[in-house]
Structure 1
Amino acid sequence: MERASLFSNQKRKTGGILIPVAIFALGMIVVRALATPTTGLLSSLAARTSVRMPVTSAVGASIVSSGKPSSKAAQYSSFAPLAGARSSASLGRSMRGLSSCKANGLPIDLKGKKAFVAGVADDQGFAWAISKCLIEAGADVSLGIWVPALGIFKKSLQMGKFDESRKLSDGSLMEFEKLYALDAVYDTPEDVPEEVMNNKRYAGNSDWTVSEVAKLVEKDIGKVDILVHSLANGPEVKKPLLETSRQGYLAAQSASAYSLVSMMQNFGPIMNEGGSVISLTYDASNKVVPGYGGGMSSAKASLESDTRVLAYEAGRKYKVRVNTISAGPLGSRAARAIGFIEKVINYSYQNAPISKELTAMEVGQTAAFLLSPLSSAITGQVIYVDNGLSTMGLGLDSPTLVDAEAPEPVAQ
């Protein structure tokens, strides 16, 4: 496909996914505002450069299933809950996300890049969406799948259960380079307890500790450019912190935070310079989210802190970048283990600045950007992809605010 370059009057072929260029468009508005008939260079630039911005509908207009907001509410919103609830089918739409990882904007070209994504278990969730966007951009993607889930994943893949989700923008089905069994709770074979080693769910698999998988990856595909950590588990996540055992707390830390450290220790040496690493976190790391217990909020806080330290250490030692994405709620299979994910999604829909459901592909596109050379100066950061919910300090759906209205904007 040919697209006009944003930086020249030449046309070039691009095979990668694209990200929005609102900032560039804003710059062009300024250029046109400054240009006059006598400013040859500026007027020439404005005339020669065109930016096609995506067409979007009014925020939340297609999500509300019943009732229509008043004109005043449509303009300024209200402190009262949004009219109507999310439709029952909307969760499925948010899981599928966008049909393609492509959008208008700057090209992301990852041709020739090798990626290892840890944490895919099915065709739902963020890890799958990230993998799809990386493949759409041209990367070769291998997966690390939890040992007990690997057999089910392979069978579902072979039976075509994922075919609809595998469709790329050109109509082809995405393919994975390699599938590896992985349990990132264990660094070496010596760390594995006998009861786990003899567990029938692990039968028929070998070389699945972090160090072993890293060696297999290096042997099979050589050095990697991209590393994705989408791993979390809290066996006591439904328990309040005051009722969480030491064992449960430390298990959450091990699976959800230290696993990133372990992966960096073992995959860092086999990453190419200029490579990029991302993980996935949640805003409970620095805010109280009742029900997100068992030490998981602490584990996410650790993950974010470790991201900053690893960005420094791995940046100096391996010349790679490390960031984490703080994603809003998504009704994935893993998230349903919390037990109240639908309520959290509803809360986000009613209180976030952008009143719509988050899609997995929106996180996937952000990840593709962070894992590409376009973000070469970004490292050690927590990037929020949550429709702006993390910026809010007061829930608009509070019963005390049901009859209150937001103040009207001051006229300029």
Structure 2
Amino acid sequence: MATTAAPGSHMAAIKPSISSSRRTYMSCTANFGANSEVAVSKGLRSSSHISSRQPFFPSIQSGPAKSVKVITRAMSAAAENTPLPGLPIDLRGKRAFIAGVADDNGYGWAIAKQLAAAGAEILLGTWVPALNIFESSLRRGKFDESRILPDGSLMEITKVYPLDAVFDNPDDVPEDIKSNKRYLGSSKWTVKEVAESVKEDFGSIDILVHSLANGPEVVKPLMETSRYGYLAAISASSYSFISLLQHFAPIMNPGGASISLTYIASERIIPGYGGGMSSAKAALESDTRVLAFEAGRKHRLRVNTISAGPLRSRAAKAIGFIDMMIDYSSANAPLPKELSAEEVGNVAAFLASPLASAITGSVVYVDNGLNAMGVGVDSPIFENLELPKEA
């Protein structure tokens, strides 16, 4: 999953033993392989000290992180504390809440990592049934390698909250969920309760990230999808964004930003992406425009969504043909390469920053340009076509 480093950025080899002045733990969903090279915005900053608050798992000391072959240094002069030329993405003093993270293998994790690299303090919302496994993995240092930031320090989080964004408040939770053993031991995990807990713990946030999607019947064609499956996909994948913004907007500082993740199936036919998930993504994009108006006028917040290309994440494997989608994209996109999760994280960091202060209500495509294509050029019908080639 190799990509070319951005012009002007500096490459730095990470040595096997990496220490950090603050060891905190974090999660979301993205995989940065040991042999990957990823392009990172030159202005991204890594934060070694974000908040004076006690970090998550403060008593746990993780072992040395495994070495990574090559990563991109986010800021060429960071170690020397010299002024950064150009337009830096500087999120120091900002606090982000990222909803929908349960491992280190997806876009949510990548976004959190890039926000942290730019200096933001990270709060996390993790699905309740996945919380114990997630926390256990953090304690064991399972995610240490993928927590490495561009400057060699480890990504930090301040707190992880249990969250199930399908339920707005405690009255919405049915008895069978309340008594489910996977929910026992956790409390205050509905959207309203989590927002209240964040307000009590921190007062306010600046960045809200929605990295949530679920369709119980995603492998079924739309014509075979049940009403339950369709509405469940809408509830978990699109209404959850409305609910999060509804409850978090009052505690977001003016000038703040909200970001969600969508997919090209919202506007193009992607056979096999069923169960109402294409409808949910279309709703999410429509809601992004309306919410941008409402949240912008009432709270001075910006609302955007990123239409990301296919990624080999654990969640994406549920549709059953993600590898073929990645191969198709590499063969047909204007940029014939595999998309990295970190490239999506870079764009999220930009959208959350003051550099994007006039961007709202937008669908931003981060897919190597695949959305612009009207036909797949790898079709046998084009076998005699002279395609543009890299010089």
Residue 96 of structure 1 contacts residue 124 of structure 1 at CA under 8 Å; is this kept in 2?
no
Give unmatched runs, 5+ long, in structure 2: 12-30, 40-70, 77-85
Residue 100 of structure 1 contacts residue 168 of structure 1 at CA under 8 Å; is this kept in 2?
no
1:238 counterpart (206, 219, 230): 219
Q: How many percent identity over aligned positions? A: 64
Deviations 1:169-206 (A, max 9, x none): 22221110110000000001110111111111111101
The separation in 2 between residues aligned to 1:184 and 1:101, in whole angstroms, is: 35
2:291 is the alignment partner of 1:310: yes
Q: TM-score normalized by structure 1?
A: 0.76
Quote the residue 2:247 is aligned against. 266
Give unmatched runs, 5+ long, in structure 1: 1-18, 21-51, 57-89
Q: Displacement of 1:403 after TM fit?
A: 3.0
2:133 counterpart (129, 148, 152): 152
Quote the residue 1:200 is aligned against. 181
SS in 1 for 2:88: strand
Residue 330 of structure 1 contacts residue 360 of structure 1 at CA under 8 Å; is this kept in 2?
yes
The separation in 2 between residues aligned to 1:343 and 1:318, in whole angstroms, is: 42
2:377 is the alignment partner of 1:396: yes
Residue 335 of structure 2 contacts residue 369 of structure 2 at CA under 8 Å; is this kept in 1?
yes
SS in 2 for 1:233: coil
1:142 counterpart (114, 119, 123): 123
May I ask how many residue pairs the two structures share in their alignment? 326
Q: Displacement of 1:92 after TM fit?
A: 4.8
Amino acid at match of 1:110: L
Quote the residue 1:339 is aligned against. 320
2:253 is the alignment partner of 1:253: no
Amino acid at match of 2:177: V
* Cα RMSD for the two superposed structures: 2.2
Quote the residue 2:203 is aligned against. 222
Quote the residue 1:286 is aligned against. 267
Quote the residue 1:27 is aligned against. none
Aligned ranges 1:173-188 → 2 under 5 Å: 173-188=154-169
Report the CA distance shift for 1:261/1:96 in structure 2 as closer, same or farther (over 3 A). Answer: farther
SS in 2 for 1:200: coil
Deviations 1:318-353 (A, max 9, x none): 100000000000000100111000000000000000
Quote the residue 2:74 is aligned against. 102
Residue 314 of structure 1 contacts residue 321 of structure 1 at CA under 8 Å; is this kept in 2?
yes
Amino acid at match of 2:363: V
Q: TM-score normalized by structure 2?
A: 0.80
Quote the residue 2:362 is aligned against. 381
Q: Displacement of 1:407 after TM fit?
A: 7.8
Which segments of structure 1 move beyond 4 Å, counting only runs of 4 or more?
90-98
Q: Displacement of 1:54 after TM fit?
A: 5.0
Deviations 1:290-324 (A, max 9, x none): 00000000000000000000000000011000000
Residue 94 of structure 1 contacts residue 330 of structure 1 at CA under 8 Å; is this kept in 2?
no
Q: Displacement of 1:100 after TM fit?
A: 4.5
Deviations 1:67-98 (A, max 9, x none): xxxxxxxxxxxxxxxxxxxxxxx995798856
Report the CA distance shift for 1:91/1:400 in structure 2 as closer, same or farther (over 3 A). Answer: farther
